[in-house]
Amino acid sequence: MKPSEISQALTICITAKQPVVVWGAPGIGKSQVAQQTAAALGRKVIDVRASLLDPVDLRGIPSVATGRTVWAAPSFLPSPSDPPSIILLDELNRAPAMTQNALFQLVLDRKLGEYSLPDTCEILACCNRESDGGGVQKMHLALANRFEHLDMEPDLQDWCKWAVRSNVHPMTIAHLRLRPTRLFAMENWIGGQQESDRHTHSGGHNCSCGAERKRATRAFPSPRSWEFVSRMTHQNPQNGIAHALFAGAIGEADAVEYSGTLRLYRELPSVDAILMNPSKAIVPANPAGMYAVSSALVRMTDVNNFGRVLTYMKRLSQEYLAFYVQMLVAAKPACQHLPDFTKLMIATPELMS
């Protein structure tokens, strides 16, 4: 399921009071989707890193009252007087087996010893898949059977909608529109280990010849690491440093491609020039430039200048106009109610498809 579908499914599970776990590769935004969904529902997120807890951390500290041992629940667990909340058990399957065992009762029975989870609190978990590495442990079957399980995959359209709302650099968005398969790719990641492809010589022995060596990388492209790249791009680093910074986030090969795309950015017209004279401002001659300008204009559009922006965008092909309209609706929904937007949708409803 793509992130927007995960968010809808989480809303259903939370409303139905059904514990749910979101599975997916590292860096694709599982925790962020969970937090955004909670915020949309008006819920406070209680971020509990299960991998950092011992079983005793969940049960609390014992004390003696009226001759009997009682347990003081940890402060991160909500009380009935607290506002509606969601306990987010992040990286649940990195927790030791004993900690997972301690969570059985909380997830199914909504209790931990003498503590009871308030009716206004629900449980949500996020886990990396075993196949992606990351030091995860197999989730105990008894705990797994207490959850609804959802699998999340990155989606470029969802990411772009988030990106235009989150000040991601226009050229980062443009680059991925042209190379959608690079939003997430782990094929060159081998855990940062200097490993080599091995082959067998005629004599039967193995070696690591230079011609066969595989380039190891600690970095790989993911929705999270592309956000890192955007942050660096906003700082306008010098060429040599820029490449090292990009490679440190997304790997060498993707950094080379991204640096090439970024060189086109210097040739683009300024947004201010477009807004001043939308009918005569320069139109980029390449797809990367058109996507970058479209992304930048989404960020600058408001109810006062929409007509001028639309004048310019109509000079581009319908592909880029459709991209602009869809991103605008996601980032600034108030623009949908403008007369010029209504006329555009009546004339070309296919822009939203």
Nearest to 330 by CA among 168, 154, 151, 183: 168
CA distance 121 to 88: 10
Nearest to 92 by CA among 18, 39, 146: 146
Banded pLDDT at 93 (limits 50, 70, 90): confident
Segment 48-66 mean pLDDT: 78
Cβ atoms < 10 Å from Cβ of 159: 24
Residue keyed to tokens 């992130």: 3
Between 46 and 143, where is the model more confident? Answer: 46
Report the C-alpha dihedral over residues 88, 92, 96, 99, rounded to 10 degrees: 40
Q: What is the mean pLDDT of the chain?
A: 86
CA distance 50 to 92: 5
142, two tokens: 């008894």
Instruction: Tell whether the model's pLDDT for residue 346 goes beyond 90.
Output: yes
86's enclosing H/E stretch is: strand 85-90
Report domain extents, the chain. Answer: 3-153, 157-187+215-267, 271-352
Segment 100-110 mean pLDDT: 84
Instruction: Tell whether the model's pLDDT for residue 141 goes beyond 50.
Output: yes
CA distance 55 to 34: 25
The pTM assigned to this predicted structure is 0.83
For domain 3-153, give the CATH superfamily.
P-loop containing nucleotide triphosphate hydrolases (3.40.50.300)
Give the per-residue pLDDT at 30: 95
238-283 per-position pLDDT tens digit: 877 999 999 999 999 999 999 988 888 877 888 899 999 999 999 9
β-bridge partners, 148 = 20
CA distance 343 to 24: 41
Segment 149-157 mean pLDDT: 96
Give the per-residue pLDDT at 64: 75
Give the per-residue pLDDT at 91: 86
Give the per-residue pLDDT at 188: 62
Residue keyed to tokens 């022995």: 205
Q: What is the largest CA-CA distance in the chain?
A: 85
Banded pLDDT at 47 (limits 50, 70, 90): very high
